[in-house]
């Protein structure tokens, strides 16, 4: 009498599934096989499965392995460099401006223009700059003497009623332009300190300012100025970027949510 062994007793976890064709060839209509036919079954099975995936993995192991490798490659792929990140064109334009801390050495009324002051301003250069400003209606002359100010220094010089003006004092003003205050650099800043927008890392990445000709040609100031404001704490901002030196933030004395020009 033939001794039989159930197919379920074969110990490979996917043997029957992977060798289905071989099993059919040996015992097409039986749920069991003899030891004699089992040897033939194994021989045929191994010929069929030579080079096949491991029996104890998914029958789609090769496809799954490819998918896993692709997923792993995606997982470890380096993220986009900061150079590929979206740029802030307004901040980039602001970085082209040469905004500095200045100190007014002397100020007087313009002899040919009732609305103008003339100031000599130390901006950290060998010689002071001469700057004209239309502040007569807003700022008493005595408040200008020896005052720390914020100067836009790379504008093209302009002839203002016979006086060559080489820069602009930056000020905050309310919506009606009835109240105007000069911006105030932080305590501890010195003439010549360059002002930037953002954090300390932004200072390290700040490019050299562009030339006055380029500022005029590319309308850099006209691009940046509408985005300069003070917030509810009178702190000067470019959008959400702090206007600052290494010593701290630039302020207006009292004007909140004001325009800066």
Asked if 166 contacts 157 with a C-beta cutoff of 8 angstroms, the reply is yes
pLDDT of residue 85: 52
Measured in degrees and rounded to the nearest 5, phi and psi for residue 38 equal -60, -40
Residues 160-213: pLDDT tens digits? 999 999 999 999 999 999 999 999 999 999 999 999 999 988 998 899 999 999
Measured distance CA(141)–CA(145) in Å, rounded: 7
Tell me if the pTM is above 0.85: no
Domain ranges of the chain: 10-57, 89-260
CB atoms within 10 A of CB 194: 17
pLDDT of residue 250: 98
Average pLDDT, the chain: 78
Measured distance CA(105)–CA(107) in Å, rounded: 7
pLDDT of residue 208: 96
Asked if 250 contacts 244 with a C-beta cutoff of 8 angstroms, the reply is yes
Closest among 76, 251, 245, 232 to 172, alpha carbons compared: 251
Please compute the mean of the pLDDT values over residues 92-114 and round it to a whole number.
Answer: 97
Is it the case that residue 110 has pLDDT exceeding 90? yes
CATH superfamily of 89-260: Nucleic acid-binding proteins (2.40.50.140)
């Amino acid at each position: 009498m033939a001794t039989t062994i159930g197919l379920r007793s074969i110990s490979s976890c996917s043997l029957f599934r992977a060798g289905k064709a071989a099993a059919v060839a040996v015992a097409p209509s039986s749920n069991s096989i003899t030891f004699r036919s089992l040897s033939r079954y194994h021989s045929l099975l191994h010929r069929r499965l030579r080079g096949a995936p491991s029996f104890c993995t998914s029958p789609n192991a090769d496809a799954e392995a490819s998918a896993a490798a692709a997923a792993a490659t995606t997982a470890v792929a380096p993220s986009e460099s900061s150079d590929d990140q979206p740029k802030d064109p307004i901040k980039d334009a602001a970085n082209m401006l040469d905004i500095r801390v200045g100190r007014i050495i002397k100020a007087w009324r313009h002899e040919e223009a009732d609305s103008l002051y003339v100031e000599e301003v130390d901006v950290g250069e060998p010689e002071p700059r001469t700057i004209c400003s239309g502040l007569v209606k807003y700022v008493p002359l005595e408040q200008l003497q020896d005052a720390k100010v914020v100067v836009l220094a790379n504008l093209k010089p302009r002839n203002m009623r016979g006086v060559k003006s080489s820069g602009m004092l930056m000020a905050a003003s309310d919506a009606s332009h009835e109240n105007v205050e000069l911006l105030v650099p932080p305590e501890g800043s010195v003439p010549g300190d360059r002002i930037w927008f953002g954090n300390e890392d932004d200072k390290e990445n700040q490019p050299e300012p562009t030339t006055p000709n380029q500022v005029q040609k590319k309308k850099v100031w006209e691009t940046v100025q509408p985005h300069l404001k003070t917030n509810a704490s009178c702190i000067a901002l470019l959008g959400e970027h702090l206007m600052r030196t290494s010593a701290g933030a630039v302020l207006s004395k009292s004007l909140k949510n004001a325009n800066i020009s």
